[in-house]
Amino acid sequence: MNEKILILDFGSQYTQLIARRIRELYVYSEIVPFNKIPELDDSIKGVILSGSPFSVTDEKALQTDLTKVIGQRPVLGICYGAQYIAQQYGGKVERSLKREYGKANLSRVYKKDRFLDGVPENSQVWMSHGDTIMEVPEQFELLAGTAHVDVAAYRSKEGAFEQPVYGIQFHPEVSHSLDGMKFLRSFVKDIAGCHSEWTPAAFVEETVAELKKQIGDDHVLMGLSGGVDSTVAASLLHEAIGDALVCIFVDNGLLRKNEYEEVLHSYKDMGLRVVGVDAREDFYRELKGVTDPEAKRKVIGRVFIETFEREALKLEEEDRAIHWLGQGTIYPDVIESVSVHGPSVTIKSHHNVGGLPEKLKLKIVEPLRMLFKDEVRLVGKELAVPQNILGRHPFPGPGLGIRILGEVTPEKVAMLQEADAIYINNLRKFGLYDNVWQAGTILLPIQSVGVMGDERTYEKTVALRAVDSRDGMTAEWSRLPHDFLATVSSEIINNVKGINRVVYDISTKPPSTIEWE
């Protein structure tokens, strides 16, 4: 196993970001609940305690056994983590009279230390805390402060513990801390002694070897969606076991125009053993009369499971060696399902394919379960996954089913596919596709008056949606050029019968979601 940094999660909204920043240093990081500290084997080189929405002064403050990590490995406490360490070792932590939130500067440096190497004077950092450390314990000493906070950074005194302990009351992982990566690099590489060995090439080599050992001579069944995660997962499995991987790609009638044929062709060019299933009529039949968004999602999920199960049973009759179900689960799916209050890890239900493993008596294999989305793309590039799949925008599992507001019909799907194709093709033509995180067209359940020639029309409206984001958790609407929007609007209205109005969605997330349903 690669050397790694262990992150104890106390519930901060930034915990995932800490892990991602460390991985940007090509060092593997892993998140565990604060009260589920594993045995510290030789692979664990350092431990980070995350921030938290809780206060260390509360009666029900989240607590862990610090003796399991302090003195055992180099430790870095961030915000709540720093306050918790200070409090547990006899320091004073109190509620601040004024909550410190936002930009601050390390205007006071009390002592030179390798943790501060390369950090300029008055370095800007991002504060977000309601408590503050008034006094550090006697085993510790101050490193830096801001104009308003005496204790912005501290460390253990030489010889106080077997391994050094650091605490900071700011968030180095967020972009507003301009030298945040320098602090993390100093801790991870200089203090914890990690090397930069967590690379896409190393991940592929190690994972392929593990998959060969895990699967042996068995065969794996996997459902493909045309998206990045399932495709890269399938590519890894194919690299490990070749044609012992059998894939199913279902046309649910809710994909983009020509997507089924194009993606199926790409899969076959990649050498994957893939079975294409045309199940459009099944989905349209079951969706008839359904208008509630959640009900539509459930119908689409149920029919997919029924289709997959039917095809899987056919394949099992032909190939009795199938014992595994491959899934494209990625790390956020895993850690978002872990409560800081300590329940066991459970993957979100939509990644369990509705109980299919139990029905088909298959074991689950998830080659990407420890990767973030950006890492999945890097691994896909290493595996030579085609760019038309690797660079594809995120696309919702229910597809156009939740981009048609109200009842889904074949006629509405065809109309939306045409309008959406014009939008996406123009994004590519104008060189904007790769600048946008996600884009799509929504068919609205309203009609409005228009004029075409000398005739009055009463037709449908589509909304164009484009957002900039890093991970989809927050999103800003994309500032697309007006001439581009004018071109798209004109082409849709002139070429798609039934649409006479185009609008552009300028809502951010939050409060709006990216999808409309």
Q: Which of 247, 236, 232 is nearest to 212 (CA)?
A: 236
Task: Write the burial class of residue 456 (CB in 10 Å: 0-12 exposed, 13-18 middle, 19+ buried).
Answer: exposed
Phi, psi of 45 (to 5 degrees): -100, -20
What b/e readout covers 14-35, taking b as 16+ CB neighbours within 10 angstroms? Answer: bbbbbbbbbbebbbbbbbbbbe
Beta bridge partners of 220: 245, 324
The catalytic position among 3, 129, 171, 219 is 171
Q: Indicate if 79 belongs to the active site.
A: yes
**CA 351/CA 336 separation, integer angstroms:** 12
Q: Is residue 161 within 8 Å of 107, Cβ to Cβ? A: no
Q: How far apart are the C-alpha atoms of 393 and 376, rounded to whole Å? A: 14
Q: Does 247 participate in catalysis according to the annotation?
A: no
Helices 482-495 and 410-429: crossing angle in degrees, nearest 10, is 150
Beta pairing class for 108-109 and 75-78: unpaired
Tell me if residue 206 is catalytic: no
Task: Say which DSSP state 170 is in.
Answer: B
Name the active-site residue from 100, 173, 311, 375.
173
List the catalytic residue out of 3, 79, 129, 351.
79
Q: Which candidate, 215, 214, 211, 233, places its Cα nearest to that of 224? A: 233
Number of C-beta neighbours around residue 212 at 10 A = 12
The answer to whether 104 and 155 are in contact (CB under 8 A) is no
State the first-to-last Cα distance of the chain, in angstroms, to the nearest integer.
Answer: 42
Choose among 45, 44, 51: nearest CA to 15. Answer: 51
Residue positions annotated with a catalytic role: 79, 171, 173
